[in-house]
Structure 1
Amino acid sequence: MSAPATDTPADSLSTTSANPSTLPEGWLEVTSMDLDAQGVARRADGKVVFIDGALPTELVSARTGRRKNNWEQAQLTEIHRESSLRVRPLCPHFGLHEGACGGCKMQHLDAGAQVAVKQRVLEDNLWHLGKVRPENILRPIEGPAWRYRWRARLSVRHVAKKGTVLVGFHERKSRYIADMQTCKILPAHVDALLMPLRALIGAMDARDTCPQIELACGDRVTALVLRHLQPLSSADIARLRAFAAEHGVQWWLQPKGPDTVHLLDEGGEPLAYDLPDFGITMPFRPTDFTQVNPHINRVLVSRALRLLDVRRDERVIDWFCGLGNFTLPLATQAREVLGIEGSEALVARARANFEQNQASAGVDKRLAATNFVARNLFEMTPELLMADGSADKWLVDPPREGAFALAKALADIHQARIGAADAAPLPAGSDGWAPPARIVYVSCNPATLARDAGLLVHQAGYRCTAAGVVNMFPHTAHVESMAVFERT
C-alpha cells in the first residue's frame, strides 16, 4: 500500500487537533483518515504519519515501518484515547495481527461513520481537484453492511507443508492467502462453503493447479468459476459434480483466459439478476462485469433514473453501458435509447438482454427503440461524439479511469461555440447537434469524477446540481458516487 506524499484536504476527513508538541513523547493525535483508511497524524516537526488501524480523534502510539522525507507509514500499537466511533469488528480475520485478511479496511469504524468519511472524500475531491461544489448533497445510498458481496475472486493455494488448502482473500499487504474459515461480507450460503471448498480442492488430483475460484451470485443461482491450469481428470469432474449437487451451486470452468469460461454441465437455470422497479431481468456470465452489491445496485439504478427524469419524448445515451444495467431500465421510460460500450462481447450480450426482455414484456410495457454500439470511449473526439447524434439526457457510468475523453469532447464543442480563442474548429455539419440538457454521472473513483466534473463545469457549460456517495462496498475504503450536471 502506498502512502500519499502529503496530507491534503482532498485525501482526508479532518478534525480539530491539538498542538503535537504538547503531547507525551511518542504519542500521536489522529486528525483525519486517508483514502486507504489509515489514520493521519503529524509529529511535532510537521512530518505526516499514516497509521494503520487508527481513527480520527484518537491519541495513539505507533510503530513506524516505512520512512520518507516528508511522511512515515506506521502501525497502531496502543490507543491512549479511543474514538467514540470505534467498534468491535465482526469478522475474526480482520485486524492488524499476523495473517489478518486484507479484504476489509474499516470494520473497526462505525458503519455510519464510514459513509461520512466517504462523503467527505467525495466533496474534498470535487473541490480540490475539480474546483466544483455541488449545489445539493444527495442523501447517501446505503444498504446491508454485511453479507453484501455477491461477487468475489477467491484465491486458492494448496499448502503442502501444512497439509491444507486455503481459499479466500489475500492477507493485508501480502501475496499470501489468509487462512479464512469464515467471511461476514459474503452471503451466508457462500460463507458456509469456504471450508467445504477447502476440503474439495484438497481431495482433487488438480489441487496444485487450481489457483482461483470466482464467485458470482445471481438472484436464483450461485456460480463458481474454477480456474485450472491443467486439464481436469474424470475423477475431479465427478468431485465437482458431487459438490454442486450437495451444495446447490453451478460450476463453470476456466482453462485459460476469460473467453474460455464455460459451464461444466449445460442446462439448469441461467445466471441472472432482477431490477424489479422496471420489470427487467438481466442474464449475465459469471465473468461479466456486474455490481458486487445487488441491494445497492437496485437503489442506484432507480435513483439515477429518477435524477435523470427521462420523458417519453426524449432520446437518451447510456455511455459505458456494459450489459445494459441502466440502458434497459431507461428503455422503459424514453422514446429512444443508445447504449455505447467499448467491448464488442458486452455489446452483443446487452443486445441479447434487450431482445429477451422485449420478448417477455407485455403489450403495454414494450421497451423503447434501443440500439447498442461498440466504441472506444477513451478516444472520443467532437466529431465522433456528434456522429452518435443529439440526446436530451446522458447517463455516464465509466470504469475507474473515468470519462475524460467524453467530457473533453463536450468541452471542446462548447468552447468552439462560444468563440474561445484557442478552440479548434468544429466539424462540418455540426450546427444541428445539441448537448444533453442533463447528465447523471455514476462514478467508482472520486478523483476521476472530480477531474471530469471540472471540465463539465468550467469548460462545457454545466452546473453540478447534486452529488452524493453510494456505499457499494461497506468496510472498505472504496468510494462510489453519483453526480448530476445541468446545462447552464
Structure 2
Amino acid sequence: MGSRQTGLDHLRMPVTAARSRKRPLPEPVVTEVRSLAHDGRGVAQVDGKTLFIDGALPGEQVLVEYRARSRRYDEGRVVEIVRASVDRVVPGCEYFERCGGCSLQHLSSQGQVAHKQQTLLDNLDRIGHVIPDQVLAPITGPAWGYRRKARLGVRFVRKKNALLVGFREKRNSFITEIERCPVLDPRIGERIVELRELVASLKAYDQVAQLEVAVADNAAAIVVRHLVALDAADTAKLVEFGKQHQFHIYLQSGGVDTIKPLWPEDSSLVYRLEEYGLAMRFEPSDFTQVNADINHRMIARAVELLAPGAHEHVLDLFCGIGNFSLPLARTTGRVTGVEGDARLVQKARDNARENEITNAGFLTENLAVDGVMKRFQGLSPDKVLLDPPRSGAWEVVSGMSAISPSRIVYVSCDTATLARDAGELVANQGYRLISAGVMDMFPHTSHVESMALFERR
C-alpha cells in the first residue's frame, strides 16, 4: 500500500516489518505485445507474468517502464516504440496522453472495430461456449464529434488557483485541463473554455462539482451540479449564458430527482427518428444513446433482424423511453414495452401519445428478479427485443422458456454479460445463436456495443 503519514509515528512497527515487503520496481524492459485488454491496454508476458501496458498495441515491440506491481500482474507504460504496429496512428486529440475520456486514439478506426469484434467473439466462445452461425458486418459511423452525452468533472485547485473542467486523467482522479474535446458534439466540445469561464465567474465557483451535458436535435443542455444553493446573481449568470450560447440550463442540487430546468422553464429536448416519423422527448438525465448516427443504424438493424410480422406481438424489455418500442410499433401489430423505472415508462407513454402511436403499451416491472418472465405468459409475445444495462439480463434469459418467443434480438453494452446470457439461451432455453456483431457506438474508447440474434430451435 505504500507508507502513509498517520500522525502515529511513535506507534510504528520496526521498518523491516512492512517496508521490506515492498520490492522496488523492475528496470524498464523491452517486450512483445500480444493482445489488447478489455480496457485498451496492451498485454505482454514478461518472465511468465502478465504485464498491462498503457499505450501499446498488439504486434508491437516496446520499451516499458513499470508503474505498479501486484501478485497476479504488473502495470507499465510505453517509453519507446521499438517496432510499431501497422494500425498505429497519431492521436487526433492533443490531450489524449493524459485525458481518461479516450483509450484507443492511437489505434486506427479499422483496428478499433476489429478489436471490438474479436472481443465479442472471444467472449462468446470463452464465457458462453457459443459461436454465432454468422458474424454481422460492423455498424460504424463518424469517429469525431459524435458524443452527445457526457459528465464533465469540475474542480477548483487551490494550489494553482485554477478551475478545471474536463474528464478525469488516466489512472487517477485528477481533472484534465483541456480547452476542447473533438469527440464531443461540437456544440459542447468547442465550448469547454466558455464553460470553464462561466463556472469561474460564479460566487459558488468552488461548489460546482459537475457539468452533465446532453445534446438533442433541437438544443444542447447543461446540468449544473451544485453543492450549495446558488444566489440570484449566480442563477442570472447561468440564464444569460444559456441565452447567449443557446444552451438549455438545468440545476441539480442533489440526486437525479432534483434536476430542474432553469432556462427556459419549459425546456424540452428532442431527438428525431425520421425514418419512422418519430420525435422522442427526453430529459438530460434519461438514458439515451450517446451516438445519434449509430442509434439510427442500430434501430434499423434490430428491426431487420427481428423481422416482426404485421400481426405479431413484440415484447421490448428494458425499453427506456421507447427508443426501440416506437419504431417497432410502426412495423408490427403490437408492442409491449417493459421498464423498471416508472419515470421512463411514463415518458415512453408520453412519446407514444405525442407520436399518435396506439399499438404500443408500457408496463413498469423489475426485470432483475427471479421468475419475472412468468408474469408475461399471458401476453403471448411472438418475438422479444432486450436492451439491458451492463449487468445483463440473467433473470430474463434464464426464464425465457416461460414465453418461448420464436426470435430474440439482444442489444448489449457489455460483451461479457451478453456471452453469459447467450450461453444460457443456447444451453438451457432452447435457442440457437444465429448471428452477432458489434456497433461502434463509442469510437476511441474500449466500450463495445453489440447485437445478437437468437432463434428457437
TM over 0.5: yes
What is the rounded CA distance, in whole Å, between the counterparts of 2:170 and 2:414 in structure 1? 22
Q: Residue 62 of structure 1 corresponds to which residue in structure 2?
A: 64
Contact 2:207-2:227 within 8 A present in 1 as well: yes
Tell me, yes or no, if the aligned pair for 2:311 and 2:333 is still in contact at 8 Å.
yes
Q: How far, CA to CA, are the matches of 1:457 and 1:311 in structure 2?
A: 24
Residue in 2 that maps onto 1:4: none
Q: How does 1:7-86 map to 2 (within 5 A)?
A: 26-43=29-46, 45-86=47-88
| SS of alignment partner, residue 304 of structure 2 | helix
Give the distance between the partners of 1:243 and 1:386, measured in 2 at CA: 49
1:309–1:217 Cα change, 3 Å: same
1:268 shift after superposition: 5.8
**Contact 2:316–2:385 (CA under 8 A) maintained in structure 1:** yes
Q: In the alignment, which residue of structure 2 is the partner of 1:145? A: 143
In the other structure, the counterpart of 1:431 is none
- Secondary structure at the aligned position of 1:295 is classed as helix
Question: CA 1:329–1:134 in 2, change beyond 3 Å: closer, same or farther?
Answer: same
Take 2:68 and 2:358, find their aligned partners in 1: how far apart are those partners? 57
Give the superposition deviation at 1:119.
0.2
Matched residue, 1:423:
none
Shift in CA distance, 338/380, structure 1 to aligned 2, threshold 3 Å: farther
Distance 1:460 1:328 in 2: 28
Q: 1:386 to 1:200 in 2, by over 3 A?
A: closer
Closer, same or farther: CA 354–383 of 1 in aligned 2, 3 Å: closer
CA distance in 2 between counterparts of 1:368 and 1:380 reads 31
The root-mean-square deviation of aligned C-alpha atoms, in Å, is 1.4
Deviation at 1:266, TM superposition (A): 4.1
Identity of aligned residues (%): 45
Residue in structure 1 matched with residue 13 of structure 2 by the alignment = none
- Is the counterpart of residue 486 in structure 1 residue 439 in structure 2? no
Residue 291 of structure 2 is matched in structure 1 by 293
Q: Do the aligned residues in 1 keep the contact of 2:187 with 2:220 (CA within 8 Å)?
A: no
Per-residue deviation at 1:242?
Answer: 1.4
CA contact (8 A) 2:373 2:400 kept: no
Tell me what 1:436 maps to: 405
* Alpha-carbon displacement from aligned partner over 1:352-408 (angstroms, at most 9, x marks no partner): 1111111xxxxxxxx352111111100041663444521111001000010100111
Cα offsets for 1:213-267 (capped at 9, x unmatched): 1000000110000011111111111111111121111101111111111110345
Check whether the contact 2:117–2:437 (CA below 8 A) recurs between aligned residues: yes
Secondary structure of 2:135's counterpart equals: coil
Alignment of 1:22-421 (within 5 A): 26-43=29-46, 45-95=47-97, 100-267=98-265, 270-358=268-356, 367-381=357-371, 384-411=374-401, 413=402
Larger strand percent: 2
Separation in structure 2 between the aligned mates of residue 458 and residue 156 of structure 1, nearest angstrom: 48
Shift of 1:203: 1.1
Q: SS at the partner of 2:121?
A: helix
- 1:116-173, Cα deviation, whole Å (9 max, x unpaired): 0000000000011001100001110111100011000011112233232111100111
Are 1:467 and 2:436 matched, yes or no? Answer: yes
When the two structures are aligned, how many residues end up with a matched partner?
430
**What code does the residue aligned with 2:399 have?**
A
State the one-letter code of the partner of 2:60: E
2: CA distance, partners of 1:291 / 1:383 = 26
Amino acid of the structure 2 residue aligned with 1:482: M
Gaps of 5+ in 2: 1-27
| SS in structure 2 at match of 1:264 | strand
CA distance in 1, matches of 2:257, 2:373: 33
With over 3 angstroms needed to count, the CA separation of the structure-2 counterparts of 1:294 and 1:382, relative to structure 1, is closer
Q: Is 1:335–1:368's contact at 8 Å kept on the other side of the alignment?
A: no
Given residue 400 of structure 2, which amino acid in structure 1 is its aligned partner? L
TM-score (structure 1 length as normaliser): 0.86
CA distance, structure 2, for counterparts of residue 288 and residue 188 of structure 1? 21
Alpha-carbon distance between aligned partners in 1 of 2:231 and 2:52, rounded to the nearest angstrom? 50
Distance 1:383 1:306, change over 3 A: closer
Structure 1 residues 228 and 26: CA distance shift in structure 2, 3 A: closer
Q: CA deviation at 1:175?
A: 1.1
CA contact 2:261–2:267 (8 Å) conserved in 1: no
Change in Cα spacing, 1:388 to 1:266, as seen in structure 2 (3 Å) is farther
- 2:242–2:263: 8 Å Cα contact kept in structure 1? no
Distance 2:154 2:220 in 1: 18
Query: What SS does the aligned partner of 1:161 have?
Result: coil
1:456 to 2:425 alignment: yes
What SS does structure 1 have at the residue aligned with 2:352?
helix
Distance 2:411 2:373 in 1: 24
- Contact preservation (8 Å) 2:392, 2:421: yes
Give 3-state SS (helix, strand or coil) of 1:196's partner.
helix
**Distance change in 2, residues 1:289/1:302 (3 Å):** same
Structure 1, unaligned runs of 5 or more: 1-24, 359-366, 414-433
- Checking the alignment, whether the CA contact within 8 Å between 1:136 and 1:466 is kept in structure 2 is yes
SS of 1:321 mapped into structure 2: coil
CA distance in 2, matches of 1:369, 1:261: 32
> Helix, strand or coil: the match of 1:277?
helix
Match of 1:422 in 2: none
TM-score, length basis structure 2: 0.92
Give the 3 Å change call, closer, same or farther, for CA 61–388 of structure 1 in structure 2: farther
CA pair 446-351 structure 1, distance change in 2 beyond 3 A: same
